[in-house]
Structure 1
Amino acid sequence: MDNILEISGLNKHFGKKIALDNVGFNIKKGHIVGLVGPNGAGKSTIMKAVLGLIGTDSGQIKVEDELISINNHPALEKVGALIEYPGIYPYMTGREHLKLYATGANAESNIDQIVEELEMTKYIQMKAKSYSLGMKQKLGIALALVNKPEFVILDEPMNGLDPQANKLLRELIVKQAKAGTTFLISSHILSELGKIADDIVVIEQGKIIADAPIDEITHADKKLIILETSDDNKARQILKENNYAVADENKVIIQQNKEVTLAKILRLLVESGIDINDVKHQNAVLEDSLLQILKDDEK
């Protein structure tokens, strides 16, 4: 079976509020999947339902082809997770936390490995009450990964991490995915998620509005021209009057293709009395694509 997770027809209400509305998507083994959307869209609800932490009104969740419910979830023995904030006991050391979670004959070596991979050696013997937000977050991630699960669910794993720690986490996730581990990751830091995700699932108001490989979501082949001019408002107006699609209401951003070239754009603006101060080229990014998907869904 290619899919490690299969969700179909999932519905969930909290009182009168619709949290999930006929949610369905699959995750292939070994893939890194980003679950993105606005606050309150239903991301955490999906993750908690997959982990059997909350029940649903209807629908079906399967992990490794086994049904998951709040009362029946043996397949979750192969799943590691960090949901919202890690549960940290202030008077226990980081290593003591990991010893509580680590199982199997290789528990000690697995602890040593994840501590080294996340660069936690210097403080792993310290009590958690002295940990910074980033150190606590790393410990939560370590707890999710220590037993080498086949499927890992991470809710906002980049929270509190500095740029170096983010890079370290990205590299570790990619390394484990190449070895066969599957990841479902929710994050507001789309610039980081866009660097590692294979697929993106977009949810808004409890509904899945996009589910596709990241290259399709971001249009990886889309090239953008970003201009800084002596009068950006006038430049946007001139471009629109000449049937150029300006991709931003505040900046001068144009999508480049065979018909729309930098030379044509510069010639038009210079002839219209606009000075060009700077020119940049950029590939479309996940954040821009997500905003466009959400904007299109409102129509």
Structure 2
Amino acid sequence: MMENILQVSQLSKRFGKKQALSNVEFTVGKGRIVGLIGPNGAGKTTIMKAILGLFSYEDGQIKIDNQPVSETSHQALAKVGALIEYPAIYPYLSGLDHLKLNATGDDVTNRIDRLVKQMKMDSYITRKAKNYSLGMKQKLGIALALINQPELVILDEPMNGLDPQATKDLRDVIIEQAAAGTAFLISSHILSELEKLVSEVVIIDHGEVIKQATIANLNQDQADYIILKTSDDEQAQIILQQAGIAVMKAPGVVFNQTATVTLAVVLKTLIQANIDVFDVLHQGEDLEASLLSILHNETKEG
């Protein structure tokens, strides 16, 4: 069984009359990249702040590497790096000054050099931060979260202000660090980017965890559509329906792939009926579609 670096149990938090979090439970395994996803105002940033001991909470427990964390108990946070909302940056210090100020432990100079190269910050790292663009500040904030080789890194909307190349560079850095054993908890509304990174997701809505699942399981739960373009779509639909295969009324021949209704079975049926298949499109749902589908089902059931 994989060891957890982070365990959140029955976490509840009120702000005045508003119930911000309600019995939140999830885990992050060592070396795992976990996405915290949900609509705006679902409670993602509140959860991250609670993990960092930034406020007290009424019920529940947060443990980092089996040590409890609360507003008054911070020892375990020595193992954590974080970027929540906006990075705390001093305008008259350079990026390099920031990293030197925050870096602790051994081999600081080499660690800083390596991270600056990885994050492709070499060209501006010695300039004063007041001249940085939003993307440069964001990269510096992420570098500050990573500089002390933490065991857990918490990133709130890390792709904010990053162009596509910088987003890809960040993705490479995160994947490399996770492979070396660092765990990540990342919230982002850019689900297409998050999907390229995370191995599992925790889905939050109205301050509650609706589901924690691996990406593979999440996609498995969702429909897996195949669209065929054939020499005679209408005839193909009739033949498949006669063979007991459900087909949707849509342009082309659309069916839901299951354990028994596989692409091979459908192709064989059509070829035997002398219908040519010109094109096969796989329409597996992406993370965004999965999330919307889960939230929609939750609303209907609730």
TM-score under structure 2 length normalisation: 0.84
Check whether the contact 2:83–2:154 (CA below 8 A) recurs between aligned residues. Answer: yes
Worse-matched range after superposition: 31-40 or 92-101: 92-101
Secondary structure, in 3 states, of the residue corresponding to 1:55? coil
1:39 is paired with a residue whose SS is: coil
User: Are 1:208 and 2:205 matched, yes or no?
Assistant: no
1:16 counterpart residue number: 17
Deviations 1:100-127 (A, max 9, x none): 2111232221111110100000000111
Aligned length: 282
Distance 1:164 1:130 in 2: 21
Partners of 1:113 and 1:70 in 2: CA distance: 34
Q: For 1:193, what is the secondary structure of its paired residue?
A: helix
- Separation (CA, whole Å) in 2 of partners of 1:7 and 1:71: 17
Aligned twin of 1:96 = 97
- 1:273 alignment partner in structure 2: none
Tell me whether 106-115 or 217-226 shows the greater mean CA deviation: 217-226
Letter of the 1:214 counterpart:
I
Assess if the C-alpha contact under 8 Å between 1:220 and 1:283 holds in 2: no
1:132 equivalent in alignment to 2:137: no
Q: Determine whether 1:44 maps to 2:53.
A: no
Change over 3 Å in CA distance of 1:44–1:254 after alignment to 2 = farther
Question: 1:159–1:220: structure 2 CA closer, same or farther, 3 Å change rule?
Answer: farther
1:9 partner SS: strand
For the Cα contact (< 8 Å) 1:33–1:198, is it kept in 2? yes
**Residue of structure 1 equivalent to 2:157:** 156
What letter corresponds to residue 199 of structure 2 in structure 1?
A: D
> TM-score, normalised to structure 1's length?
0.84
Following superposition, the deviation at residue 55 of structure 1 comes to: 1.2
Q: Which residue of 1 aligns with 2:237?
A: none
- What displacement does 1:161 show? 1.0
* Corresponding residue SS for 1:219: helix
1:114 is aligned to 115
Q: Deviation of residue 244 (structure 1)?
A: 4.8
Change (3 A) 1:9 1:114: same
Question: In 2, distance between residues paired with 1:60 and 1:7?
Answer: 6
Quote the offset at 1:283 in angstroms. Answer: 2.9
CA distance in 2 between partners of 1:9 and 1:221 (Å):
28
Q: How does 1:1-299 map to 2 (within 5 A)?
A: 2-219=3-220, 223-226=224-227, 244=246, 254-257=255-258, 258-259=260-261, 280-299=281-300
Instruction: Show CA shifts across 1:10-41 (max 9, x none).
Output: 10011111110011111111111010000010
Is the CA contact (8 Å cut-off) linking 2:203 and 2:209 kept in structure 1?
yes
Identity across the alignment (%): 56
Instruction: Give the secondary structure class of the aligned counterpart of 1:188.
Output: coil
3-state secondary structure, aligned to 1:85: coil
Q: Quick check: which has more Rg, 1 or 2?
A: 2
| Counterpart amino acid of residue 186 in structure 1 | S
Contact 2:201 2:215 in 1 (8 A): yes
- Root-mean-square deviation (Å): 3.1
- Alignment partner of 2:293: what SS? helix
Gaps of 5+ in 2: 230-239, 272-276
